Structure 1
Amino acid sequence: MSTAPTTETRATRASTSDALAPVTAEGLAAVLISKERPPRPSAWTTSLAFGWRAVLKIKHVPEQLFDVTAFPIMMVLMYTYLFGGALAGSTTDYLQFLLPGILVMSVVMITMYTGVAVNTDIAKGVFDRFRTLPIWRPSAMVGYLLGDVLRYAMASAVMLTVGLILGFRPDGGVVGVLAGIVLLMIFSFSFSWVWTMFGLLLRSEKSVMGVSMMVLFPLTFLSNIFVDPKTMPDWLQVFVNNSPVTHLSSAVRDLMDGGWPAVEIAWSLGWSGALVLVFGTITMRLYNSK
């Protein structure tokens, strides 16, 4: 059998060789300059894109919703029926005091999973790709927090639904409840920067969870969530009355009760700004240096 190339085959090879000719610098520059480049995405656009990525992770791993569904329900039922009769003489009366506080406690405690998620992505090398993109550098972190705000809102909705079923009746109505939740979302967004810092700083997600629990348990339990601080020793009241969780719990409780605690709201917003300023700055320095 003859293996000599036909005239048609030689012509095809010649045309292919011409089509794959080396690209010159002048020709490449002409192509790049002749076309308008797409505009650089804004900080808000990239943050929303990363936020949507966090939401999609929940879609593919729905077990992540356990901490915003089963955990809040368990907290409301357990503390209402364990302490209600002993502390207030009635579970219904205690629920009026407890629910806003336990709402704050549950949402603040689940903020630690932001740091766990950040640490997991770092271990997988995902952030190495993010840092090469021509985008606003903090958008990856802000996107995480925006996605988690949805989880906090879900936890709040679950707890309020359970509370209403059990007999919770907020005198502030819908406006007071929404105002309390908005304030809680702002504080939780700010507080999550603490855990992004630990997520970048520590080596494993177990370390992040261990440190988070060590900080969260005294911060939430040493507050006015369960009882009035006036029943505590004087030396303990000094810490409890100045705790950010106490200010937040008091503000949310009064808003849902129909009041307008301007001082407590100011303290809560002040703590939120301070947390973002301090821990947000540290987080971005760690993020840029890793």
Structure 2
Amino acid sequence: MSAVSTPLADSTIMLRRNLKHTTRNPVAIFNAVLFPIIIMLMFVGVFGGAFSVGADYVDYATPGLLVMAISYGLGATATAVNSDMTTGVINRFKVMDVSRGSMLTGHVIVTTVRCLVSCAAIIGVAFAMGFSPKASALDWLGVFGVIVLLSLGAGWLTVALGLAAKTAESAGLATVPLIMLPFLSSAFVPADTMGAGVRQFAEYQPFTPIIETLRGLLLGEVAGGDLAAAVAWCVGFVIVGYVWSVSTFNKRA
């Protein structure tokens, strides 16, 4: 087997392993798929009439709920990575003929797949609730690209958090900021309707330009500045998460 095919084959094996672990963990499935749908039903169906956003609320809220669908499943990844590190699984892999990079890549890929499934579920429920996007085929391709890039960035950051944490419990708690940040963005109400301090935080935190980019693409009116900022933040997540993950892995494993 060639030097190139071995890491690819090992990553595929790790992907199958992590997918099996995910399907056997009902809590992970609930947090990643069902809970974002519950949040959507609550905000759109219960609170949506109280918000004035200049459009149908389901059209406004869906982009933010896509980002929330990505963030809500990250705790399972952090816990799984930490468990591999602290229970000796990674040490057992080290003495086998297994590519070291595949151990981390498998977790990132399964996180990305889980995020895509979650986002597909959100979009399906949104259509059932009256979602009416004006996106062209190219816009939908852009939505898919942003979601994949954000999922990869969030995946690498979460793997890094899982590797750095001392226990599985602290690994899960470390992802809470990533879960809470969408609530403090323009996901559910425009940032300019917020009070002083909160408004500035919402405008300059990373998830707001990502959400605004998705919203613009879905409504057919994406702003170039938001798109550039969204891509920059997502690429930054990937780079920081990857470098942090590899550095921590080499130190601890």
Q: Same fold (TM over 0.5)?
A: yes
User: How much does 1:247 deviate?
Assistant: 0.9
Which SS does the other structure have where 1:88 is aligned? coil
The one-character-per-residue Cα deviations of 1:257-284 (angstroms, maximum 9, x if unpaired) are 1134332222122112222222321211
User: How much does 1:60 deviate?
Assistant: 4.1
User: Which stretch shows the higher mean deviation, 62-71 or 244-253?
Assistant: 62-71
Partner of 2:230: 268
Superposition pairs of residues 124-139 of structure 1, within 5 angstroms: 124-139=87-102
Q: Quick one: distance in 2 between partners of 1:279 and 1:208?
A: 15
User: How much does 1:186 deviate?
Assistant: 0.9
Q: Quick one: distance in 2 between partners of 1:185 and 1:122?
A: 26
RMSD value, Cα: 2.3
The one-character-per-residue Cα deviations of 1:236-262 (angstroms, maximum 9, x if unpaired) are 332211211001100111111113433
User: How much does 1:156 deviate?
Assistant: 0.9
Equivalenced residue count is: 251
Q: Quick one: distance in 1 between partners of 2:68 and 2:247?
A: 29
Match status 1:236 vs 2:195: no
The equivalent position to 2:39 in structure 1, one of 64, 75, 84, is 75
Superposition pairs of residues 218-257 of structure 1, within 5 angstroms: 218-257=180-219
The one-character-per-residue Cα deviations of 1:164-217 (angstroms, maximum 9, x if unpaired) are 11100111055433421331121121122222122112222211122221x135
State the structure with bigger RCO (CA 8 A, min sep 6), 1 or 2.
2
The equivalent position to 1:88 in structure 2, one of 52, 63, 75, is 52
* Equivalent AA in structure 1 for residue 152 of structure 2: F
Maintained 8 Å contact 1:76/1:102: yes
Indicate the structure (1 or 2) with the bigger Cα radius of gyration. Answer: 1
User: How much does 1:62 deviate?
Assistant: 5.3
Distance 1:75 1:175, change over 3 A: farther
The equivalent position to 1:111 in structure 2, one of 74, 80, 86, is 74
* Equivalent AA in structure 2 for residue 195 of structure 1: T
Q: Quick one: distance in 1 between partners of 2:53 and 2:133?
A: 20
Query: TM-score normalized by structure 1?
Result: 0.78
Q: Quick one: distance in 1 between partners of 2:102 and 2:122?
A: 30
User: How much does 1:218 deviate?
Assistant: 4.1
User: How much does 1:161 deviate?
Assistant: 0.9
Maintained 8 Å contact 1:111/1:188: no
The one-character-per-residue Cα deviations of 1:36-92 (angstroms, maximum 9, x if unpaired) are xx43344444323322222232344455322233212201100112321111399x8
Superposition pairs of residues 1-290 of structure 1, within 5 angstroms: 38-40=1-3, 41-61=5-25, 64-88=28-52, 93-213=56-176, 215-290=177-252
